[in-house]
Amino acid sequence: MIKVAILGKPNVGKSSLFNRILRERDAIVSEKAGTTRDIKKREVSLDEDLEEIILLDTGGLEERDELFNKVKQKALDVAKEADLVLYMVDGKTIPDEEEIKYFRSLQKLGKHIILVVNKIDNDKMMEKVYDFYELGADEIYPISVAHNRGVGKLIERIKKFVPKKPKTFEVSEFEQEIPLEDLLNEENEENLEELKEIKVAIVGRVNVGKSSLLNALVGEERAIVSDVDGTTIDPIDESIWHNGWNITFVDTAGIRRRSKIKDIEKYALLRTEKVLEQADIAVLVIDAKEGIVELDEKIGGLIDKHKNGVIIIANKWDENSEEFHKFRDEVYYRFKYLYFAPFLVVSAKTGRNIEKLKETIIKVYKNYSKRIPTSTLNKWIEEATLKHHIPTDIGGKEVKIFYATQYKTKPPTIALIMNRNKLHFSYRRYLVNFLRKKEDFEGTPIVFVARKKGEKNEEY
């Protein structure tokens, strides 16, 4: 797939164009300069006859402080890897020396560059385009992302760089001699391979090392790391292959107390919730040096709310084994509702336990997507009820479980068909713990749904 990178100074409309090409609101858009800091990367199809492209939205090119310098350098590094560069400018301004310097540095890369002049909202503003001819661009496209003016022509031009999809040919006589059963087996194996995907959300407070952890997991400087709180605003993601699994990591914006959420960070909080909704596994990152605070517990509550598989890790760990046991005990005391989560200490800086974390992610996902045969499940439920009888209801009437069946995975969700549509929370907890003794469900919640025959399910 070809890579198309969008570059330019802050607040020229790069993220808006990114969203327009994607045909969805993905990148956070704000009038505040510097909203985009990390690299947003998405695969998108421009035409059903063409291969997909990798579209990259970069942070603004600006020299202001250490953080902005890192953002600028990351954007320039992306341009080096791109096949096509869309350099965006604000059509309501005129190019200054800094703009000319950035464009000249991109030209030296030898890449094909299209100069995109944004905010040309009407025909009267077309004369503003001439101000940018001094940049020496081979191609100039005036557009207005806000009014969707000229964007279609730009996309059509981008399509010229995209290879067509390979044609499908009819099966040859030789291939037709392969037994149908063998072809089906091969197809099933391919489908199973395609399904081996895990989505992992990396969540936690601001400045606990989530971006450093992402970089350590993928083995490259994918996310910008800075001591400035709230460096990551947009969730950014990167995929790796590990032992036959395609694992996509999403580094979310750090969460702070609601009273301290600043301007665009309120969008970041909403995006973090959205990422958890779509993720299989949540990796909750705690700062080992600062210890556990109340906000860590609240973030854990978000994971509990979305019923993700979960791994708790203490980052920046450099203590001894005695301190480990003490810290682990505090983790399970403070996160009682995530008692089933494995706990690891890691160091994104030194790489300590990073490989172990990858293996743990795969193990937790297998448990998260585990399905128990109905016959086995009913045998266990029967054994559990014989060992500890179900309490009677408020009226003193007997409560019975007729049978159980697991009807959903991710997380394992079990329906209990009963003569009542409720089950006391303490007995539900007993059944959950009983199942955990019978089967490895480490890292995943177990959900019970009580249903009275003929009535609607009630999920606990």
- Is residue 169 situated within a structural domain? no
117/235 same-domain check: no
Clarify whether residues 287 and 325 are in a common domain: yes
Same domain, 272 and 400: no
Residue 293 has pLDDT above 80, yes or no: yes
Determine the Cα–Cα distance for residues 175 and 183; give it in Å rounded to an integer: 10
- In this predicted structure, what is the pLDDT of residue 379? 93
Q: What is the dihedral of CA 326, 328, 331, 336, to 10 degrees?
A: -110
Q: Rounded to an integer, what distance in angstroms lies between the CA atom of residue 314 and that of residue 286?
A: 5
Split into its structural domains, the chain has a count of 3
CATH of residue 452's domain is 3.30.300.20
Q: Going by C-beta distance under 8 Å and a sequence separation of 6 or more, which residues neighbour residue 112? A: 83, 84, 85, 138, 161
Q: Does residue 180 belong to any structural domain of this protein?
A: no
Q: What is the mean pLDDT of residues 18-37?
A: 58
Closest C-alpha to 105, from 68, 83, 80: 80
Among 343, 368, 393, identify where a domain stops.
Answer: 368
- Among the three residues 336, 368, 400, which one is the final residue of a domain in this structure? 368
CATH number of the domain where residue 131 is located: 3.40.50.300
Domain containing 431 equals 374-459
pLDDT digits (tens, 9 = 90+) for 79-112: 888 999 999 999 999 988 888 988 998 999 998 9
Mean of the pLDDT values across residues 187-201?
63
Hey, what are 167's tokens? Answer: 């044609």
- Give dist(CA 405, CA 422) in Å, integer: 16
By the 8 A CB rule, do 177 and 227 touch? no
The answer to the question of residue 358 being in a domain is yes
Residue 152 lies in a domain: yes
pLDDT digits (tens, 9 = 90+) for 145-157: 988 899 999 999 9
Residue type, 129: V
Q: Is residue 166 part of a domain?
A: no
Q: 155 and 20 in one domain? A: yes
The answer to whether the beta carbons of residues 235 and 250 sit under 8 Å apart is yes
Which residue in 232, 234, 242, 239 sits closest to 210, CA to CA?
232
Q: For position 413, what pLDDT does the model report?
A: 95
In a domain, 181, yes or no: no
Complete DSSP assignment for 3-48: EEEEEESTTSSHHHHHHHHHTS--S---SSTT---S-EEEEE-S-T
In a domain, 275, yes or no: yes
Q: Are residues 140 and 221 in the same domain?
A: no
Helix %, strand %, coil % of the chain (to 5): 40, 20, 40
Residue 230 forms part of a structural domain: yes
pLDDT at 230: 41
Q: Does residue 185 carry a pLDDT above 50?
A: no
Query: Parallel, antiparallel, or unpaired for β 3-8 and 53-57?
Result: parallel
Domain end (from 368, 386, 404): 368
Which residues are registered as beta bridge partners of 4?
Answer: 55, 84
CB atoms within 10 A of CB 270: 12
Task: Quickly state the pLDDT bin for 454 (edges 50, 70, 90).
Answer: low
* Same-domain check for residues 351 and 427: no
143 and 267 within one domain = no
**Confidence at residue 69, expressed as pLDDT on a 0 to 100 scale:** 65
Given a contact cutoff of 8 angstroms between Cβ atoms, the answer to whether 129 and 117 are in contact is yes
Are 232 and 346 part of one and the same domain?
yes
